[in-house]
């Protein structure tokens, strides 16, 4: 047959209709039943696919138009519920069991336990295999059930919180889960916002309210929000239900800092206002002042907070993966040993039955107690960390990876709030010809008093100062301080609420009033607090006005005409104000020197002074102003209003209009603000560097400040040089810069975020190879996404263990991407702390956390895991010897009760007491951080140490079994008594030989276990001959066998300690 086209048009079908087509249809009609079934099956598949996509697929987000007071019924939006549960009643048991048995170790023991239901291959009692397995599963199921019940309780508590909904019948109380798009919801002061809303009205007269966003973006500073002007001006709240108005909202976005929408009133002239981020209240924020009323636009999984919640990956420690590899080796040993025994026995008859019985007999080589002991050990390490009085407030949120702290090679840290305190102090004011610092700020206050006295005299009498130079400096100081007091987003909040001051008399009364400044940035608060200290105080700020109090107590009133908030893209903020007394309109702007240098008028000092301040570690801001005429402002306002109403490309159009105003500004001053270093940052970083940990600083701050903090904090040592990668935009430039950097040795690297992106795009492997060899790397101007990407690239290209530490919401992705994430409870909120594996109060705690607790956790888990493996190997070796001697019989050496007792009560306490062992005292670990370097090589648990323990187990197992066979005289029960007693004593002595630092609980565990076994000898008369046990012959036989099994190992260990001592032996 000829090939048919995949797609045929209708015309082609009509044109080619002929005899052949008829014959084909006739042929197909013979199997119309099959065709009908196929169509039915296709319909079923299509229907199933749509259901699956609806349930599991990603929902397509759409923009929406919401009418006030009307619940949207034309479109289906997600319910407003928070669901953090992992299971439900139906899926709990299946999912928990699946998550357990997907691990090789648990699956292996399940197969072994299931095999005991087959009578032909059963060995001993069912509880011998099912008892330990059921215990492990019950512990896991109970733990998961408790965690999920707690999650359900938290979800239920949040979803059942009641809110007032405005309806035509009056306010109606409804739970959070019943809130829908279009509802009008009241939010009281200090109440959590249940859904994303557009802010319509507030009880505050000025039409503004503050919200706290620390659970959304990690910032603790209050944010100012503005009610929609048209709805705020309505006489009564009920009028919202009478007007015909709607809100257009863009489709749900991940960006929490931007919003595009419009408010349209369809009656009364069809007024239309633009909406921005300032008119929104996102879910999980908290209203901090007044009572707010908003219309719900996004619910449930479409809210900004849920969209930004990335599910943290389940972290598995490197030690766990290494033990999993060793488990596979042990499994291969079990199979190999069983095949060898079967080969010696002969493959005759039902040989497969005997083969499986041998596998069951040797299954103790892989001990099921290994997982239990390690999990209990991790819980013990976590408890010890939280109980350490030298690092108070430390919380372990992930108990599965404490050993990772002992193997960190790369530490990635944030700067602001992590290495620094996020406490801003105003340090420098530079006017071009004169500079003021902390020592000379009293001169600024003097100049300011002089300026306002003279300005008052000028207004009264027209007199002017006599000294021209004096007048120039005084005037410039006054203009600079006034610009700093006006150009900001700071609001004074009084104890009774953010009420303003109505007149000068009230201002005098409130001179010593208890108020605080609130702003979106601590830099802003530092600037306004400094102007207050010089005598020019901000006493009132609302939506449309601002009031300042002069050193003489006079209140100056200003009308706020426009505010241009700071964004990470523009890196500047501006404000247009009108002084009420003179009617003068002034445009003030401040921002980063990189953007402001092209905006202000030409000068010859700005770049140099910015560099000088940056080298001192100061954060710089350039301040400028421009006086506008009434006509200029009216023209700007008209163009700005039109741009803000645009739905398409609104941001670009608004930016273009504002940029037209940002030309030829008069340069007023340059400010320098210091971000104080955290307590003990320098010695901590020096300790970590000496420990062989390579430190990368990932920050969103500018290059100069980041470099300066790296030097002042000793992130870069004094002997190291710094290579700054020049900005690159193309492949060729990146190639040249990387070649230039390749020739540098022992050099710290500084790179900007945009250059980093270009290098990773074209030369990812080459860049990571060079950067990973650097003692320190500083990445500035980094976005949160870039921070997480850097962590992933380090892990991918080096295979080393990483640790990330930060304190803000922008550090969460980096913390979750690292092998071990540490969050600091800081001024930017608790978001990083809650998302991290470990939470600390200050950066200096990390030294003790890594060098001491990390070391102890790794060393202890390595010893514990190898000893538990040894415990299984030694008894399996004895089983091999026993079966070999007795004609390869697949019969268990010991009864099930003794096997369970051996793995639990007889040896469990001494073996687990190894979690208290310590090879080096805490003081020495912190004094000599170089000891940490050995841990990163992973020598405490490796194939070398594993095979050493294998040989020890084979030697001791052979000695114990052959010794018992040689020394027993009469009955077989004597072999059991002699060999098992020697086995228990050998295990207790091996624990004693392994311990490096004795703890009183270790002694109790040894004595208790020995006493428990002696009591068992007298009580279990079915397994032991009590008459033989009480004889001297039993005692000397057990002592001789135990001595032969342990004494040579002790001698070898002693000689090794003397001839090849460990690196820390001289220190201890």
**Any idea which residues carry the catalytic annotation?**
414
- Select from 333, 374, 369, 373 the least CA-distant residue to 949: 333
Distance of CA 320 to the CA centre of its chain: 21
What are the angstrom distances between the C-alpha of 274 and each of 163, 370, 651, 653? 28, 63, 12, 13
Identify the DSSP state of 600.
B
Both tokens of 892, joined, read 């268990």
SS3 label, residue 349: coil
CB atoms within 10 A of CB 177: 18
Beta partners for 675? 424
Q: Decide: helix, strand or coil at residue 1053.
A: helix
Concatenate the DSSP letters of all residues of 903-953 into one string: HTTTTHHHHHGGGG--SS-HHHHHH-GGGGGGGGGT-SSSHHHHHHHHHHH
Q: Which residue has the tokens 């859904």?
A: 195
Q: How many CB atoms lie within 10 A of CB 636?
A: 19
Dist CA 282 CA 297 (whole Å)? 10
Question: β-strand 820-824 against 801-806: which pairing, if any?
Answer: parallel
Question: Of the candidates 241, 211, 245, which has an alpha carbon nearest to the alpha carbon of residue 226?
Answer: 211
Nearest to 374 by CA among 820, 821, 868: 868
Tokens of 57: 């697929």
Its sign, for the CA torsion 885, 886, 891, 897, is negative
Buried b (16+ CB within 10 A) or exposed e, 863-902: bbbbbbbbbbbbbbbbbbbbbeeeebebebbbbbbbbbbb
Please tell me the number of Cα atoms within 13 Å of 607 on its side-chain side. Answer: 8
The tokens for 969 are: 């005289």
Q: Which two tokens stand for residue 117?
A: 């239901």
Nearest to 255 by CA among 199, 295, 196: 196
Residues 6+ away with beta carbon under 8 Å from 77: 64, 180, 181, 298, 299, 300, 302
Residue 964 DSSP code: H
Which runs of E-coded beta strand occur in 600-682? 618-628, 666-677
Longest dimension (CA), the chain: 128
Q: How many residues belong to the chain? A: 1068
- Cα–Cα distances in angstroms (integers) from residue 770 to residues 401, 707, 729, 792, 796, in the given order: 29, 19, 19, 16, 14
Bridge partners of 588, per DSSP, are 575, 625
Half-sphere exposure for 238 (CA within 13 Å, toward CB): 4
**Other C-beta atoms lying within 10 Å of the C-beta of residue 795:** 16
Helices assigned H by DSSP within 713-835: 731-742, 753-771, 784-798, 812-817, 831-835
Pairwise CA distance, residues 577 & 487, whole Å: 9
Give the Cα separation of 1041 and 1045 in Å (integer). 6
Residue environment code for 919-946, b if the CB has 16+ CB neighbours within 10 A, otherwise e: bbebeebbebbebbeebbebebbeeeeb
Q: Give the closest residue to 342 by CA, choosing from 892, 958, 962, 889.
A: 889
Determine contact, residues 417/827, Cβ cutoff 8 Å: yes
């Amino acid at each position: 047959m000829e090939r048919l086209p995949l797609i045929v048009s209708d015309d082609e079908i009509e044109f080619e209709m002929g005899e052949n087509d008829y014959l084909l249809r006739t042929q197909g009609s013979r199997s119309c039943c099959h065709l009908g079934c196929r169509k039915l099956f296709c319909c079923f598949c299509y229907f199933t696919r749509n259901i699956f996509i609806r349930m599991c697929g990603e929902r397509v987000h759409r923009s929406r138009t919401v009418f006030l007071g009307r619940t949207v019924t034309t479109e289906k939006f997600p319910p407003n519920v928070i669901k953090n549960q992992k299971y439900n009643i139906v899926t709990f048991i299946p999912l928990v069991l699946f998550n357990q048995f997907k691990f090789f170790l648990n699956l292996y023991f399940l197969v072994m336990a299931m095999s005991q239901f087959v009578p032909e291959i059963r060995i001993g009692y069912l509880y011998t295999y099912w008892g330990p397995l059921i215990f492990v599963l019950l512990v896991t199921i109970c733990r998961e059930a408790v965690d999920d019940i707690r999650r359900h309780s938290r979800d239920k508590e949040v979803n059942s919180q009641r809110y007032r909904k405005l309806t035509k019948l009056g306010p109606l109380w409804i739970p959070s889960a019943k809130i829908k798009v279009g509802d009008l919801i009241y939010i009281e002061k200090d109440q959590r916002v249940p859904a994303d809303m557009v802010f319509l009205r507030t009880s505050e007269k000025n039409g503004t309210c503050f919200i706290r966003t620390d659970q959304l973006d990690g910032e603790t500073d209050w944010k100012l929000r503005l009610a929609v002007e048209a709805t705020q001006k309505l006489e009564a709240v009920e009028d919202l239900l009478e007007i015909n108005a709607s809100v257009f909202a863009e489709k749900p976005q991940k960006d929490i800092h931007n919003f595009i929408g419009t408010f349209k009133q369809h009656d009364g002239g069809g007024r239309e206002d633009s909406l921005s981020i300032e008119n929104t209240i996102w879910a999980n924020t908290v209203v901090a002042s007044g009572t707010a009323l908003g219309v719900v636009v996004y619910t449930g999984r479409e809210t900004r907070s849920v969209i930004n919640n990335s599910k943290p990956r389940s972290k598995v420690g490197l030690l766990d993966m290494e033990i999993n590899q060793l488990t596979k080796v042990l499994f291969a040993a079990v199979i190999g040993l069983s095949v060898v025994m079967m080969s010696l026995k002969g493959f005759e008859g039902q040989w497969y039955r005997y083969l499986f019985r041998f596998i069951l007999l040797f299954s103790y080589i892989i001990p099921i107690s290994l997982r239990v002991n390690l999990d209990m050990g991790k819980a013990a390490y976590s408890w010890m960390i939280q109980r350490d009085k030298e690092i108070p407030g430390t919380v372990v949120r992930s108990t599965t990876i404490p050993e990772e702290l002992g193997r960190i090679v790369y530490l990635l840290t944030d700067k602001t709030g992590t290495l620094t305190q996020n406490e801003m102090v105003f340090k420098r004011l530079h006017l071009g010809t004169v500079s003021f610092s902390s020592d000379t700020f009293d001169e600024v206050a003097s100049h300011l008093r002089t300026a306002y006295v003279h300005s008052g005299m000028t207004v009264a009498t027209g007199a002017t100062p006599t000294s021209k130079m004096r007048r120039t400096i005084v005037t410039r100081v006054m203009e600079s301080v006034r610009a700093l007091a006006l150009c900001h987003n700071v609001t004074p909040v009084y104890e009774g609420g953010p009420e303003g001051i109505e007149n000068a008399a009230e201002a005098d009364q409130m001179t010593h009033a208890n108020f605080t400044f609130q702003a979106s940035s601590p830099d802003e608060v530092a600037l306004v607090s400094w102007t207050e200290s010089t005598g020019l105080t901000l006493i009132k700020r609302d939506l449309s006005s601002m009031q300042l109090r002069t050193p003489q107590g006079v209140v100056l009133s200003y009308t706020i005409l426009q505010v241009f908030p700071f964004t990470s893209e523009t890196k500047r903020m501006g404000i247009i104000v009108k002084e009420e007394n003179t009617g003068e309109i002034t445009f003030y702007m401040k921002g980063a020197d990189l953007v402001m240098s092209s905006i202000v008028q030409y000068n010859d000092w700005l770049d140099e002074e910015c560099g000088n301040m940056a080298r001192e570690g100061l954060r710089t801001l350039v301040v400028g102003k421009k006086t506008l005429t009434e006509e200029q402002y009216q023209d700007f306002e008209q163009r700005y209003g039109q741009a803000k109403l645009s739905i398409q490309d609104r941001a670009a159009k608004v930016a273009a209009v504002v940029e037209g105003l940002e030309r030829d500004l008069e340069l007023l001053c340059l400010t320098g603000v210091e971000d104080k270093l955290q307590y003990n940052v320098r010695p901590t970083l020096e300790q970590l560097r000496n420990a062989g940990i390579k430190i990368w600083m990932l920050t969103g701050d500018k290059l100069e400040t980041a470099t300066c903090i790296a030097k002042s904090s000793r992130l870069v040592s004094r002997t190291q040089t710094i290579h700054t990668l020049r900005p690159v935009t193309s492949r060729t430039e990146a190639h040249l810069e990387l070649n230039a950097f390749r020739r540098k040795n022992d050099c710290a690297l500084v790179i900007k975020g945009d250059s980093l992106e270009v290098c990773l795009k074209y030369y990812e492997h080459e860049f990571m190879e060079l950067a990973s060899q650097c003692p320190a790397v500083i990445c500035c101007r980094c976005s949160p996404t870039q921070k997480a990407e850097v962590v992933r690239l380090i892990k991918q290209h080096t295979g080393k263990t990483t640790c990330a530490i930060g304190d803000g919401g922008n550090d969460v992705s980096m913390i979750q991407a690292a092998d071990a994430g540490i969050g600091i409870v800081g001024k930017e909120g608790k978001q990083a702390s809650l998302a991290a594996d470990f939470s600390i109060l200050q950066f200096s705690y990390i030294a003790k956390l890594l060098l001491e607790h990390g070391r102890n956790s790794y060393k202890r888990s390595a010893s514990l895991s190898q000893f538990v493996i040894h415990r299984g190997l030694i008894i399996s070796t004895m089983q091999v010897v026993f079966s070999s001697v007795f004609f390869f019989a697949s019969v268990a050496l010991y009864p099930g009760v003794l096997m369970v007792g051996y793995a639990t009560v007889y040896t469990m306490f001494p073996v687990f007491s190894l979690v208290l062992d310590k090879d080096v005292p805490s003081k020495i670990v912190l004094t000599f951080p170089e000891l940490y370097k050995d841990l990163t090589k992973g020598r405490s648990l490796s194939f070398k140490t594993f095979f050493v323990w294998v040989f020890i187990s084979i030697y001791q197992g052979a000695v114990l079994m052959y010794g018992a066979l040689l020394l027993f005289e009469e009955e077989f029960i004597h072999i059991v008594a002699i060999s098992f007693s020697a086995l228990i004593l050998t295990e207790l002595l091996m624990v004693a030989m392994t311990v490096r630092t004795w703890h009183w609980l270790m002694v109790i565990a040894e004595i208790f276990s020995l006493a428990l076994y002696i009591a068992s000898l007298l009580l279990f008369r079915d397994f032991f001959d009590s008459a033989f046990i009480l004889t001297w012959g039993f005692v000397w036989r057990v002592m001789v066998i135990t001595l032969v099994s342990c004494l040579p190992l002790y001698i070898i260990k002693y000689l090794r300690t003397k001839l090849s001592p460990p690196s820390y032996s001289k220190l201890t």
